[in-house]
A and B are shown apart, each in its own frame.
Chain A
């Protein structure tokens, strides 16, 4: 069963890869979306982006998520002055935002339907892609409010620490799965930007 599923994923991924490769001649996908690419699980993150317990003082209650985009870190507040910190990839210039939202939905191996504005910018993207290892949303997705933004996994672990996305926050699959199990729907998410001059 497991082997069969794996085979299907791989086949899907391979098809996706060919599709995206053929389309990318027209416009190179330079924004970190590579549908079809299967994540390299052995990829080693820089120490500062590995999941770790850190000191973090805040008046926000335990269970809150705080995203510091300029640091490329996501904090899950633990109380007692501590937080679990994950490395993330964030929105590129012009695709950064800040605010307060709640997690409204959670999904495992989510499907991907790039929103129309994204298709317009990156016409080489597929219109729909079923969930799986080649899917740029990766292993899990946490949907933020009613926006098009999510906290999700990735098939490009090498983009953690960069500002490359269309406004979503990406974690490596192992991290997003870990976070997914720790936070319920309704979790408060605070997104902070660096100040403007």
Chain B
């Protein structure tokens, strides 16, 4: 009798433990969408402040390219781009905070690399912005390409991949250069601004931000060449395929919308379109949204509230924004760049 009761108790305890583990697993590992809906907001990890990408104004309203991506995910889920809570994270804590479920998405100019996916058990669903190392030169040099930089005096931040890429590039092209390296980026900028070197190298998106801070921005030109790969992408946790798919297809919907000519301005017209690929995108044909765990009009919501990829690019970092970065690699694949989204079908 006693042994039976003990057995029963042990059995019960095991059952409770298994159930609890299952619930915990369900809650913490596989259901970001469920928790996001329950919370009524997407938790989005962003940069503490990076012009064009993520910036708070004095009232705490966030704007920028990375910010808009989280708004797009919120628009897809809630039909409301304001249902996002932004959490500024610094470079050292960002991946840990994502792992610890402090955020649902990291949209923080993070470079996708193999070791980051394997080492942190994270997943980068798709490239939102192709960045890479480039060169800013004094306009008086009349350089039209990085291949014209033989013999130049180059300012660079030391002990970085930027410095290594610089060395590789000049060596591969049989060019010589005079390196002036500094520990801090601030000192690199200062040296260039004071004319101690005629070239400054950093990631292209950074170069445009740096140029704004020079004494005479107009005297510097940023060359079109990109010499390294810095694919920036949103990041999610592994083992939540449903969530990963939502994040991935949010970006692809925006890129496809641009390719198909669907914008926040003509979305109502697009909803009446009889073109099959437009109909699949905006949800007037098929059940693509439902298969993601969202609604039929998931992509139309994104486009209406946030815009297509090109609109988001231009508004935040493009030619008419303060930064003025040409589309370059981030132009669509059929218009000079490499942005390419798999079809919705």
Tell me which residues across on chain A come within 8 A of B317, comparing CB atoms: none
Cβ-neighbour of B224 out of A46, A54, A66, A195 (below 8 A): A54
Q: Are A48 and B319 in contact (CB under 8 A)?
A: yes
A61 within 8 A of B: no
Q: Are B324 and A48 in contact (CB under 8 A)?
A: yes
* Shortest Cβ distance from residue B186 to the other chain A in the assembled complex, whole angstroms: 26
Tell me which residues across on chain A come within 8 A of B224, comparing CB atoms: 53-55, 81-82
Q: Are A55 and B259 in contact (CB under 8 A)?
A: no
- Please tell me the size bucket of the interface on A: 20 to 34
* Shortest Cβ distance from residue A113 to the other chain B in the assembled complex, whole angstroms: 34
Interface string of B301-345 (1 = CB under 8 A from A): 000000000000000000110001010110100011110000000
Chain B binding surface, main DSSP class: loop
Q: Which of A72-110 contact B (CB under 8 A)?
A: 75, 80-83
B275 within 8 A of A: yes
Tell me which residues across on chain B come within 8 A of A192, comparing CB atoms: 335
Q: Are B324 and A195 in contact (CB under 8 A)?
A: no
Q: Are A57 and B337 in contact (CB under 8 A)?
A: yes
CA of A145 to CA of B27 in the docked complex: distance in angstroms? Answer: 66
Q: Which 3 A-B pairs have the closest CB atoms?
A: A48-B319, A195-B261, A56-B336
* Shortest Cβ distance from residue B109 to the other chain A in the assembled complex, whole angstroms: 19
Q: Which of A23-53 contact B (CB under 8 A)?
A: 46-48, 52-53
Q: Are A195 and B319 in contact (CB under 8 A)?
A: no
Of A48, A55, A194, A196, most buried by chain B (CB within 10 Å of CB) is: A55
Tell whether A55 pairs with B326 under 8 Å between CB atoms, given A82-B145, A197-B266: yes
- Please tell me the size bucket of the interface on B: 20 to 34
Q: Are B261 and A196 in contact (CB under 8 A)?
A: yes
A71 within 8 A of B: yes
* Shortest Cβ distance from residue A57 to the other chain B in the assembled complex, whole angstroms: 6
Q: Are B320 and A48 in contact (CB under 8 A)?
A: yes
Interface of A toward B, CB cutoff 8 Å: 46-48, 52-58, 66, 68, 71, 75, 80-83, 192, 194-197
Q: Are A197 and B319 in contact (CB under 8 A)?
A: no
Interface string of B249-282 (1 = CB under 8 A from A): 0000000000111100010011001010010000
CA of A192 to CA of B332 in the docked complex: distance in angstroms? Answer: 13
CA of A75 to CA of B147 in the docked complex: distance in angstroms? Answer: 20
CA of A58 to CA of B278 in the docked complex: distance in angstroms? Answer: 26
Cβ-neighbour of B336 out of A52, A53, A75, A197 (below 8 A): A75
Tell me which residues across on chain A come within 8 A of B26, comparing CB atoms: none
B10 within 8 A of A: no
B223 within 8 A of A: yes
Q: Are A194 and B261 in contact (CB under 8 A)?
A: yes
CA of A82 to CA of B226 in the docked complex: distance in angstroms? Answer: 11
Cβ-neighbour of B326 out of A54, A57, A197 (below 8 A): A54
Tell me which residues across on chain A come within 8 A of B260, comparing CB atoms: 195, 197
B150 within 8 A of A: no
Q: Are B336 and A57 in contact (CB under 8 A)?
A: yes
Tell me which residues across on chain B come within 8 A of A53, comparing CB atoms: 144-145, 223-224
Cβ-neighbour of B335 out of A46, A71, A196 (below 8 A): A71
Q: Write the chain A residue with the least CB distance to B282.
A: A197
Q: Are A197 and B262 in contact (CB under 8 A)?
A: yes
Tell me which residues across on chain A come within 8 A of B147, comparing CB atoms: 80
Q: Are A83 and B336 in contact (CB under 8 A)?
A: yes
Q: Are A197 and B275 in contact (CB under 8 A)?
A: yes
Q: Are A68 and B335 in contact (CB under 8 A)?
A: yes
